[in-house]
Structure 1
Amino acid sequence: MKDSLTNRHALATSIEYPQANFTWILSLVLAGIILWNSFSTSTGELNPFVFALFCAYMLTSLFQLFLTWKMKKDLLDTGEIRTTTRRLGYIQLASLLTGNVFAAAFAFNLINKRKTPEYTFAVYMLLTQLAIIAISSVNFFKPYVSDTFLPAMVILLFIALFYLFVLILTVRYVREYEAPGWMSILAIILMATAVTGNLFALLLGWSLLMKSKRFDTSRLLKWNVMWEKITRNSTATLGMFFILLMLGISITSHFTFDYALAVENNYSTILQSPSLAYPFGTDNFGRDVFSRIVFGARISLLVGFASTLLPGIIGGFLGAIAGYYSNRMDNWIMRLLDILYSIPGILLAIAIIAAFGANTVNLIIALSVGAIPTYARTMRANVLMVSNYDFVDSAKALGASDFSILFKQVVPNSLAPMIVKSTLTIGGAVIATSSLSYLGLGVEPHIPEWGNILKVGSTYLETNSYLAIFPGLAIVLLVLSFNFLGDGLRDALDPKLD
């Protein structure tokens, strides 16, 4: 009876079992979406290539369901997942051939029982690189490609092989709080490859550098605990994966995609249905929607990050000053910000753009100004709380200046909620960018931006619905990813949730 209760507790507290359930459900949903797209609603014909992809996803889902059942049985029988069950993860790695990164990510997690943050970084680093290569490879079917396409693809493939090599070394040599000294060289090379936009390489490189250089144990402990909390959250990890994938595609598309396909009119390919050459079809000017969405990710990410960073810095500075200094200073700053806060953000953005014109820079400024009061309020509340801690009184007793105490002691300990808020509000900035562009008040109409693409597609909802569905899905997935990552960061950085 005692063993049975212990095993049930092992099932209830298992991290891998909920991930297994999440993976098979998600794979099944994707299989259903692919099946729906395999039939043409206008002609009633079956696309054999898409239907074959549905069969592959269905097999992956069924095998994942079998793995989930096997894991549950192991946990109830022995209180842990058997080695034979973990080895089945090698079979599930075949899902990479169909592009099912969710099943592949779970397979990597199942294979390795001892999962350090470095192993998770290495897995998602490799998956991100493979996804970038897979997305870029659709250009093989295009009528023409960028001059730098083939050299760029060769470089990306070599980097992927290097990442695979690093993953193997990580499994073999990296421990919870230490790594061999020679890995510091590997870490520097990894951080250099992050220029391609694969920031998982930057995270892994920094983590290996910390452990190979024997950084302070307390810092390593905080680093490990934070990332273990984030990686335990499947939705937060997948959200981070999608964001960094979009970032990587935005950077590598400079060399692997031809911008002309996204902006130049081609009247011989008007309103073509999705195909290998044009995976998302073409619009009413014959422009490739897939290429337009890829290039549009740059604008969404640029505006989203910039319109969050600027108010974060300005509002954070004003909130820190207001929270730390006298009531008079506090009243002056906060009352002025209250006036700004009373104006609806989207209305203020429309007014600024109408006055100065619609372009990317003005859009960033318009979205930034309205967000300053919310960041100031968040920082002020954190500074008021942290200013009462004992270490602040100790710094004052030692004769440190107010400026030094504020920006060396108080502000660094008040940043966690600001980071979480920033992650959560980037999604709102992406929606605002697309909304204003849809209304003709954001990015210039000729530039491929998701709101502009959606505006064109909305005209053809009844006849060519894919023109609106694909950019709409891109917006939804990016916003959801930021929200999922924000929730994960909140759980990891909030000490009350320990």
Structure 2
Amino acid sequence: MDRARKQFTFRQVRFFFFLSTGFFLLLTLVNLNGRGEYGGFFLYTSIQFIILMLHGFLLFLVHKRRYKDNERDGVSKGLAWVLLFGVFTGNVFASLAAFYVVKEKRTATTILAFYMILADVLVILVSLVNLFKPYVANTFVPSMILLFSVLLIHLLFFFALPFIQKSTRNRKRGLGILLLLTVVTGNLFVLFVLYTMFIQEQQKRGLLEKLISYPAPMIGLFFILFLFMISVSSYGVFDYGDAITNNYSTILAEPSLAHPFGTDNYGRDVFSRVIFGARISLIVGFVATLVPFVIGGILGAISGYFGRRSDNVIMRSLDVLYAIPDILLAITIIAAFGASTVNLILALSVGAIPGYARTMRANVLQVSNLEYVESARALGANHIKVLVKHVIPNAMSPMIIRSTLTVGTAVLATSSLSYLGLGVEPHIPEWGNILRLGSSYLESQPHLALFPGLAIILLVLSFNFLGDGLRDATDPRLS
């Protein structure tokens, strides 16, 4: 392994060591808050401490060897193989660090395939928590069999990657199998793996490899897709009744194996409510971003391309809307039409349209003056064809980057409005609703607000990391 690759491996191991340290400190905080009453959390924290020490020793070995050429270190590789199994304790950071040490010849496909397997394992671990409950969903057993089968197939696919990539025929066979598995499990990393297998354009491949080289956006992408996958699999492995049915025999129970996040003042399992709340946050966040993305993009493209009267009418009208604060506009819409998921999406979408329209207009103004657009016009192409075929596709990159950054804002606004009682209906398990109930017990049961608050923070940070990574990967000044 050459010196540049060793330097890259060291940076990856160091970054994931900091994340492992943060994970351990968070578990320590939970134990201190529980004053030793959380039982299983103390044992789990002790295991994570051992993993953290091994991770630190691996970082020391990688740091020691990074400036030495043509020297193999069996100790660091052996330790990395041990840390690979850290994923079965939920510590994906140690496993990712070990992967970069074990796998010297890495490609974009192998890295994404490993993330795909980690997502499978983490979803299975979260789903197995249901075994400690008094009862499980009727579909729990077949759903778990399906999840384990998918993991096995993904493992076989990972180890067979060199053979699959040898011919197009083998790739197409792998394509059909993995696409089917994506539909039933929601593991969208499969799509990214297949994209890297079939992509041919050097520019797009270079962009993807550059994005993968940044660990922060990849961790953000992993957490987002993990939440999406657990939201899909929760239909089979989790019982929705645990999240909405009052159980007065378990009111305000401490965190335990049966209730990892405890129970609220109605006896509902907070862990299940956080899991099901991910659906609402992801759906509202994506839809509330997609609607202004489409509407604002169309208005901005028309305004920037045709200009003059169209520009004045569209942009001056949007300036009026832009002058109203987003949160005030959202509160006004919800107060007028009532609190519901649809009204919440509408409230968040309307205020975001002017921003997307301005971004698209600026991009279209720049692209419209390029030579290939002038050539298309000279060849007799009509304005609609030029706009749809040449201008809009080449003006989409900043819009996509903006959307990844604003999804996190939409998620945060969703939770904020629900916390104020202006979001989704109060009985629906949504992170803002869970946080609002938990805030009433900050002195006696602080974990009721800690865990949904952490879920909100991590999801918003994940979108921000992903957006920053896309922006850096597409910035030619950073090439």
Tell me which interval the TM-score lies in, with the shorter structure as reference length.
Answer: over 0.9
Distance between the aligned counterparts of 1:269 and 1:46, measured in 2? 16
Contact conserved, 1:191 with 1:202, CA < 8 A, in 2?
Answer: yes
Q: Partner residue of 1:128?
A: 119
Q: Partner residue of 1:20?
A: 13
TM norm structure 2: 0.96
Q: Shift in Å at residue 31 of structure 1? A: 1.9
Q: Partner residue of 2:311?
A: 330
Flag the 1:36–1:349 CA change in 2: closer, same or farther, 3 A: closer
Q: Partner residue of 1:460?
A: 441
Show structure 1 runs of 5+ residues with no match. Answer: 1-5, 212-216
The counterpart of 2:409, out of the listed 428, 431, 455, is 428
Q: Shift in Å at residue 80 of structure 1? A: 7.5
Q: Shift in Å at residue 321 of structure 1? A: 0.4
Q: Partner residue of 2:176?
A: 188
Q: Partner residue of 1:142?
A: 133
Distance between the aligned counterparts of 1:40 and 1:351, measured in 2? 39
Residues 97-496 of structure 1 mapped to structure 2, 5 A cutoff:
97-170=88-161, 172-173=162-163, 179-195=167-183, 196-208=185-197, 210=198, 217=200, 219=201, 221-496=202-477
Q: Shift in Å at residue 26 of structure 1? A: 1.9
Distance between the aligned counterparts of 1:465 and 1:38, measured in 2? 12
Contact conserved, 1:95 with 1:103, CA < 8 A, in 2?
Answer: yes
Show structure 2 runs of 5+ residues with no match. Answer: none
Q: Shift in Å at residue 37 of structure 1? A: 2.7
Identify the range of structure 1 (406-415 vs 225-234) with the bigger mean alpha-carbon deviation.
225-234
How high is the sequence identity, in percent, across the aligned residues?
50
User: Which amino acid letter does the alignment assign opposite residue 493 of structure 1?
Assistant: T
User: Which amino acid letter does the alignment assign opposite residue 250 of structure 1?
Assistant: S
Flag the 1:431–1:79 CA change in 2: closer, same or farther, 3 A: farther
Contact conserved, 1:303 with 1:364, CA < 8 A, in 2?
Answer: yes
Deviations 1:61-84 (Å, cap 9, x if unpaired)? 222222222222222222777566
Contact conserved, 1:283 with 1:457, CA < 8 A, in 2?
Answer: yes
Q: Shift in Å at residue 459 of structure 1? A: 0.4
Identify the range of structure 1 (191-200 vs 420-429) with the bigger mean alpha-carbon deviation.
191-200
Deviations 1:168-216 (Å, cap 9, x if unpaired)? 112x3366xx6552121111211221122210012213333x16xxxxx
Q: Shift in Å at residue 437 of structure 1? A: 0.6
Distance between the aligned counterparts of 1:482 and 1:421, measured in 2? 11
User: Which amino acid letter does the alignment assign opposite residue 241 of structure 1?
Assistant: F
Deviations 1:314-350 (Å, cap 9, x if unpaired)? 0000000000003221111100000000001111111
Contact conserved, 1:191 with 1:206, CA < 8 A, in 2?
Answer: no
Distance between the aligned counterparts of 2:70 and 2:391, measured in 1? 45
Instruction: Give aligned pairs, total.
Output: 477
Q: Shift in Å at residue 46 of structure 1? A: 6.0
Distance between the aligned counterparts of 1:189 and 1:97, measured in 2? 25
Q: After TM superposition, what 4+ stretches of structure 1 lie above 3 angstroms from structure 2?
A: 38-41, 44-49, 79-88
Q: Shift in Å at residue 52 of structure 1? A: 2.6
Q: Partner residue of 2:24?
A: 31
Deviations 1:408-429 (Å, cap 9, x if unpaired)? 1010001110000000000000
Contact conserved, 2:164 with 2:171, CA < 8 A, in 1?
Answer: no
> Is 2:84 the counterpart of 1:96?
no
RMSD across aligned C-alpha pairs, in angstroms?
1.8
Distance between the aligned counterparts of 2:435 and 2:75, measured in 1? 49
Q: Shift in Å at residue 440 of structure 1? A: 0.8
Flag the 1:361–1:81 CA change in 2: closer, same or farther, 3 A: farther
Contact conserved, 1:190 with 1:204, CA < 8 A, in 2?
Answer: no
Distance between the aligned counterparts of 2:476 and 2:417, measured in 1? 38
Q: Partner residue of 1:214?
A: none
Contact conserved, 1:187 with 1:206, CA < 8 A, in 2?
Answer: no
Contact conserved, 1:122 with 1:200, CA < 8 A, in 2?
Answer: yes
Q: Partner residue of 1:3?
A: none
Deviations 1:268-303 (Å, cap 9, x if unpaired)? 000000000000000000000000000000000000
Distance between the aligned counterparts of 1:288 and 1:345, measured in 2? 34
Distance between the aligned counterparts of 1:432 and 1:40, measured in 2? 29
User: Which amino acid letter does the alignment assign opposite residue 262 of structure 2?
Assistant: G
Distance between the aligned counterparts of 1:441 and 1:46, measured in 2? 36
Task: Specify the SS of the correspondent of 2:416.
Answer: helix
Higher RCO (C-alpha under 8 Å, 6+ residues apart): 2
